[in-house]
């Protein structure tokens, strides 16, 4: 069926989305919003299956930034899932979070950095850390599946207890090489 | 397509919308909508946006999902809603019964020199909202319509709603709410019983 973009799980990427999910649960996250990404697909499924988490698909990433502000006003902790190509869409809306010191925790699966096949992904992937940093957000990196719990936990504390905007960039190496054709890599 | 200019006075319309507000939680979009909501009476359960153009309805959605037992009203302008038009589709996927959006539509970008907006040039926000899947949409051109819409807000199973409210274009004196976002945030959360950390 799908000749292109057949996703291939990396041997090292087995259960880190479950570790992220458990960590978010331990922080009492009650809202998850997302623009889909293959790298987030397992976490999105877990979130939708959890009756205690209100899970919302967005038309564009900045909606999730504004939504996280509203969630916090109402006493909910929110998480925004996206891929690096959507980070630029959020820049202006990050003003809202900085102006009001709203917590923001966003988990970003990276494209354009590791064995990237599609050159169109590279500019935004390369600019992703700076796009957050110019708006005052803190950028943490998750490079190793074994570190998932520790890094997400640190980011969640910084966001929800420290009233900061925090982005965790999940390495493309963890997500695995995207298989574009059936015959070759 | 013919475009009928609105005649409602925006201040009178918003004041009527917020009369006897009870436990209503209000988010206002940047610019004149924030001034209108403030002019109708400052309240700890008002959160005024001074920026974040296009974000008001999504702030309302996050709040409505977090507080399902409280009615949530977003008061915003046509220009602000147009910038976040996709949020109507996102709201529709969740069908929050307690969320209502009132779009004060004068067909212009009032804050920036009264340039005609897309709604002034023919786009119909209530039709777009209907197509997006918003359960209850209305097109309001008189105070009786405002009254009906206001009375519907407390029905927590009747939303999401979007009302296009046809207001007159024209300058109104500014009424400036507090601009300190952290203060507004903490005041709002305090009203809901959340302590400042």
- Chain B nearest-CA residue for A80: B62
Work out the number of other CB atoms within 10 angstroms of the CB of residue B41.
Answer: 12
pLDDT band with cut points at 50, 70 and 90 for residue B197: confident
Residues B131-188 have pLDDT tens digits of 999 999 999 999 999 999 999 999 999 999 999 999 999 888 899 999 999 999 999 9
Report the C-alpha gap between B77 and B85 in whole angstroms.
12
Residues A132-143 have pLDDT tens digits of 999 999 999 999
Out of B49, B86, B197, closest to residue A161 by CB: B197
Q: What's the CATH fold of domain A6-179?
A: Rossmann fold (3.40.50)
User: Of A100, A82, A59, which is closest to residue B61 (Cα–Cα)?
Assistant: A59
- Chain B nearest-CA residue for A92: B52
Contact A69, A98 (CB under 8 A): no
Query: What is the distance in angstroms between the Cα of B183 and the nearest Cα belonging to chain A?
Result: 8
Residues A79-125 have pLDDT tens digits of 999 999 999 999 999 999 999 999 999 999 999 998 888 999 999 99
Taking CB atoms and an 8 Å limit, are B62 and A78 in contact across chains?
A: yes
> According to CATH, what is the number of the domain B10-112+142-191?
3.40.50.970
Contact A159, A165 (CB under 8 A): yes
Residues B95-115 have pLDDT tens digits of 999 999 999 999 999 889 999
Contact B129, B88 (CB under 8 A): yes
Contact A79, A107 (CB under 8 A): yes
Convert B95-128 to b/e letters by CB count within 10 Å (16 or more is b): ebbbbbbbbbbbbbbbbeeeeebbbbeebbbbeb
- Distance set, CA B45 to CA A29, A102, B173, B183 (Å): 23, 17, 23, 12
pLDDT band with cut points at 50, 70 and 90 for residue A2: very low
User: Could you tell me where the DSSP H helices lie in chain B?
Assistant: 10-17, 32-39, 56-66, 78-83, 86-94, 125-132, 143-152, 181-191
Res A27: pLDDT? 98
pLDDT band with cut points at 50, 70 and 90 for residue A179: confident
Report the C-alpha gap between A27 and A43 in whole angstroms.
16
B191 touches chain A (CB under 8 A): no
Cα torsion for A30, B196, B46, B75, to the nearest 10°? -40
H or E element that contains B6: none
Res A105: pLDDT? 98
Report the C-alpha gap between A169 and A137 in whole angstroms.
12
Cα torsion for B24, B29, B32, B35, to the nearest 10°? 40
According to DSSP, the residues that pair with A55 across neighbouring strands are A32
Res A184: pLDDT? 52
What does the block give as tokens for B157?
Answer: 């199973």
B68 touches chain A (CB under 8 A): no
Res B166: pLDDT? 98
A105 touches chain B (CB under 8 A): no
Model-level ipTM above the cut of 0.95: yes
H or E element that contains A18: helix A16-26
Q: Examine the pLDDT at A13 and tell me if it is beyond 50.
A: no
Backbone φ and ψ of A7, nearest 5°: -80, 135
Q: Examine the pLDDT at A9 and tell me if it is beyond 50.
A: no
Out of A59, A68, A102, closest to residue B90 by CB: A59
Taking CB atoms and an 8 Å limit, are A70 and B182 in contact across chains?
A: no
Q: Supply the pTM of this predicted model.
A: 0.94
A53 touches chain B (CB under 8 A): no
Average pLDDT, chain A: 91
Taking CB atoms and an 8 Å limit, are B62 and A66 in contact across chains?
A: yes
Taking CB atoms and an 8 Å limit, are A68 and B65 in contact across chains?
A: no
Using the Cα atoms of residue B96, residue A166, residue A143 and residue A84 in order, give the sign of their dihedral.
positive
Residues B14-62 have pLDDT tens digits of 999 999 999 999 999 999 999 999 999 999 999 999 999 999 999 999 9
Res A181: pLDDT? 72
H or E element that contains A32: strand A29-34
Out of B86, B94, B189, closest to residue A73 by CB: B189
Out of B63, B84, B185, closest to residue A102 by CB: B185
Report the C-alpha gap between A117 and A122 in whole angstroms.
9
pLDDT band with cut points at 50, 70 and 90 for residue A11: very low
Q: Is A105 exposed, middle or buried (0-12, 13-18, 19+ CB in 10 A)?
A: buried
- Distance set, CA B140 to CA A30, A152, B106, B169 (Å): 35, 47, 12, 15
Report the C-alpha gap between B32 and B54 in whole angstroms.
14
Residues A42-62 have pLDDT tens digits of 999 999 999 999 999 999 999
């Amino acid at each position: 069926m799908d000749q292109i973009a057949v996703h291939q799980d990396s041997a090292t990427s087995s259960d880190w989305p479950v570790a992220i999910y458990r960590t978010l649960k331990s922080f009492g996250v009650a809202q998850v919003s997302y623009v889909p990404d293959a790298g987030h697909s397992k976490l999105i499924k877990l979130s939708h299956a959890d009756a205690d988490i209100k899970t919302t698909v967005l038309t564009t990433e900045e909606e999730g930034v504004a939504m996280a502000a509203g969630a916090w006003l109402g006493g909910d902790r929110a998480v925004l899932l996206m891929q690096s190509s959507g980070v630029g869409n959020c820049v202006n809306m990050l003003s809202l979070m900085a102006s009001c010191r709203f917590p923001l925790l966003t988990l970003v699966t990276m494209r354009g950095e590791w064995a990237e096949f599609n050159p169109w992904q590279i500019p935004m992937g390369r600019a992703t850390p700076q796009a957050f940093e110019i708006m005052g957000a803190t950028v943490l990196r998750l490079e190793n599946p074994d570190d998932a719990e520790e890094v997400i936990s640190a980011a969640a504390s910084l966001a929800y207890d420290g009233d900061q905007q925090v982005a965790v960039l999940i390495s493309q190496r963890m997500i695995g090489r995207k298989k574009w054709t059936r015959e070759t890599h | 397509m013919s475009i009928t200019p609105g005649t409602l006075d925006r201040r009178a319309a918003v004041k009527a919308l917020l009369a006897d507000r009870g436990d209503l939680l209000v988010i206002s979009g940047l610019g004149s909508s924030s001034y209108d909501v403030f002019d109708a009476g400052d309240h700890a359960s008002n959160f005024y946006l001074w920026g974040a153009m296009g974000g008001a309805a999504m702030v309302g959605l996050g709040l409505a999902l977090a507080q399902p037992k409280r009615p949530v009203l977003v008061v915003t302008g046509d220009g602000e809603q147009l910038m976040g038009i996709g949020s109507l589709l996102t709201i529709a996927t969740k069908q929050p019964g307690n969320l209502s959006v009132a779009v004060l539509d004068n067909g212009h970008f009032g804050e920036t020199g009264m340039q005609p907006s897309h709604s002034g040039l023919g786009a119909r926000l209530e039709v777009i909202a209907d197509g997006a899947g918003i359960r209850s949409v209305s097109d309001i051109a008189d105070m009786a319509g405002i009254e009906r819409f206001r009375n519907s807000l407390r029905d927590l199973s009747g939303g999401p709603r979007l009302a296009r409210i046809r207001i007159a274009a024209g300058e109104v004196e500014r009424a400036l709410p507090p601009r300190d976002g952290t203060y507004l945030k903490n005041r709002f959360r305090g009203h809901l019983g959340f302590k400042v950390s």
